[in-house]
Structure 1
């Protein structure tokens, strides 16, 4: 009989480095208690690193800087995929994603239809905030971020420079998606976004 630890280690080593792992990825190897112990032992052996509560990785090794751990953004994406939840970046995270701010937010806030939670990844925090389905109806990859970014900037606080950048981005959006998303935005944001049509 192969141990849970042995099976888990073989499974991990077959994956490419940098793949994020959750305890449920190992559920076919044993009970949740046996998996928890196996992952703990594999972490002690240095096979995997714990990135956050219940999230592990076999780090990528760089010849220049050694271990490369996944970013908070990658962790957020992996959780979203695992939970099959819809998420939407908000606030300074949306501004940064659009290139309207160079500041990397310490706290990533994502609106979600999944379960609300807070996860610490190194010095950064990912917060999944429960929202109404209406807030997640936006279809366009760019326009959905623009709505959140404009909410963060605030009414009557948009600079000409920021507006020009937003128009440039919105012109790359699928026109059908853009029209759909404009209808979901607050009226003052609709006025700004309609200029891109």
Structure 2
């Protein structure tokens, strides 16, 4: 029975593109939780798939030079959020890193969420989901949401002109409707910066 389940699981995995992430729940039509878990562990032993964290598996992407490439923490966090039907927003330190405003790569990658609070160990790093109020997750633009968190992390009186220019450069890539929506959710001092980005969009006809 386990061999048949293993074949069904592997067949589904092989249809997915490299880098795809999988959970036990993705295969429950082929058997119960325990049976699927065993099938996945056997596939890990055979090196058909890789275990990236507890209960999370991947069909690794293969780079011609580097060989198998493990999925990053962002991809894992997004996959967990999708599975749990939860919203997530990177916190300030992670947002700063994404914008290149900090060279520090945080060992604890922290996301705000309306899903369950938890920690996921991924190698030497940890993905932390912190429960927050719906208000902090109301932004609909990926870039504008990051900008709000990055600016909050920097603080009102600490944002330099250079940092502001970098954030404005990223904000111009945001969809104008999403940016306008998210501007209303930000503290007033952050709204001033976001309105500047909106004004620049209008000038350039975006």
TM over 0.5: yes
Q: Distance in 2 between matches of 1:135 and 1:13?
A: 38
1:19 aligned onto 2:20: yes
Give the match's secondary structure for 1:101. Answer: coil
1:160 aligned onto 2:161: yes
Deviation, 1:132, is: 0.8
Q: Distance in 2 between matches of 1:12 and 1:172?
A: 34
Give the match's secondary structure for 2:191. Answer: helix
Q: Distance in 2 between matches of 1:163 and 1:59?
A: 37
Give the match's secondary structure for 1:51. Answer: strand
Alignment RMSD:
1.9
Deviation, 1:105, is: 2.6
Deviation, 1:76, is: 1.1
Q: Distance in 2 between matches of 1:194 and 1:18?
A: 38
Pairing 1:176-191 to 2, within 5 Å after superposition: 176-191=177-192
Distance 1:103 1:6, change over 3 A: same
Please, which moves more after superposition, 170-179 or 118-127?
Answer: 170-179
Aligned to 1:5: 6
Aligned to 1:71: 72
Give the TM-score, by structure 2 length: 0.86
Give the match's secondary structure for 1:34. Answer: helix
CA contact (8 A) 2:22 2:57 kept: yes
Aligned to 1:62: 63
CA deviation digits over 1:54-79, x for unaligned, max 9?
00012223342232111111111211
Q: Distance in 1 between matches of 2:63 and 2:143?
A: 33
Give the match's secondary structure for 1:74. Answer: helix
Distance 1:100 1:34, change over 3 A: same
Count of equivalent residues: 197
Pairing 1:67-146 to 2, within 5 Å after superposition: 67-146=68-147
Q: After TM superposition, which residue ranges in structure 1, 4 or more long, deviate above 6 angstroms? A: none
Q: Distance in 1 between matches of 2:61 and 2:165?
A: 39
Give the match's secondary structure for 2:86. Answer: coil
Q: Which runs of 5+ in 1 are unaligned?
A: none
Pairing 1:24-39 to 2, within 5 Å after superposition: 24-39=25-40
CA contact (8 A) 2:21 2:58 kept: yes
Q: Which runs of 5+ in 2 are unaligned?
A: 200-206
CA contact (8 A) 2:99 2:166 kept: no
CA deviation digits over 1:23-69, x for unaligned, max 9?
01110111111111111111111111110010001222334223211
Distance 1:184 1:38, change over 3 A: same
Give the match's secondary structure for 1:3. Answer: helix
